[in-house]
Structures are given as structure tokens and as C-alpha cells.
């Protein structure tokens, strides 16, 4: 399955799950592929966050960077 990862404000990545090392890739695996840490972002599916250790089951995800500056 090919997953579209939209890192909001930064760009879109297309990732083939079959090319990841894990047999059952998680959202954390997707983030690792684009060099993001689960600590610094939230992964949204249909406007809601999903656990980083959950298996990827959708073709479109949104990644939001957690920022604190003011």
C-alpha cells in the first residue's frame, strides 16, 4: 500500500509500506522514514490523532508539528 504523508506546512511524502522493514508498519515507522520523531509531531487520521505504535491502515495521513514558541 502507498501512503501519502502530508507534513503540514513542510511537504508531502509518498511512502510504499512494502519498502519498510517492518512486516506490519506503524505510524512511528512512517515518521522514522521521513526523519521525524513521534515526540515532535502528532499523526492525524480524519482530523484525529492516532497512536504512534498503531499499524498503518489508511492511505492518507496528516502530520502536525508540535510547536511552542510565542
Partner 1 sequence: MTDLRLSATQLERYSRHVIMDEVGPEGQARLLAGSVLVVGAGGLGSPVVQYLAAAGVGRLGIVDDDVVDRSNLQRQVIHADGDVGRPKVESAREFVDRLNPDVTVEPHELRLSADTIATLPDYDLVVDASDNFATRYLLNDYCALEGIPLVHGAIYRFEGQLTTFENDGDGPCYRCLFPEAPEPGTVPDCATTGVLGVLPGTVGCIQATEAVKLVLETGEPLTGRLLVYDAMDMRFDTVEVRQNPDCPLCGEEPTIESIHDVAYEGRCTLSAD
d(CA 42, CA 45): 10
d(CA 42, CA 23): 23
Contact (CB, 8 A) for 12 and 6 = yes
d(CA 56, CA 62): 13
- Scanning residues 32 to 51, which ones bind partner 1 (CB under 8 A)? 37, 39-40, 42, 44, 46-49
Please count the residues of this chain forming the interface with partner 1, following the rule CB under 8 A: 20
> Binding of partner 1 at residue 21 (CB under 8 A)?
no
Give the one residue of 4, 8, 22, 24 binding partner 1; rule: CB under 8 A: 8
Q: Which residues bind partner 1 (CB under 8 A)?
A: 8-10, 37, 39-40, 42, 44, 46-49, 62, 64-70
Amino acid at each position: 500500500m502507498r501512503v501519502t504523508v502530508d507534513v503540514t506546512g513542510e511537504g508531502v511524502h509518498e511512502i510504499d509500506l512494502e519498502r519498510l522493514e517492518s512486516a506490519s508498519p506503524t505510524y512511528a515507522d512512517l515518521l522514522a522514514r521521513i526523519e521525524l520523531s513521534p515526540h515532535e509531531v502528532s499523526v492525524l487520521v480524519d482530523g484525529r490523532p492516532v497512536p504512534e505504535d498503531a499499524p498503518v491502515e489508511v492511505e492518507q495521513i496528516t502530520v502536525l508539528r508540535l510547536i511552542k514558541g510565542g
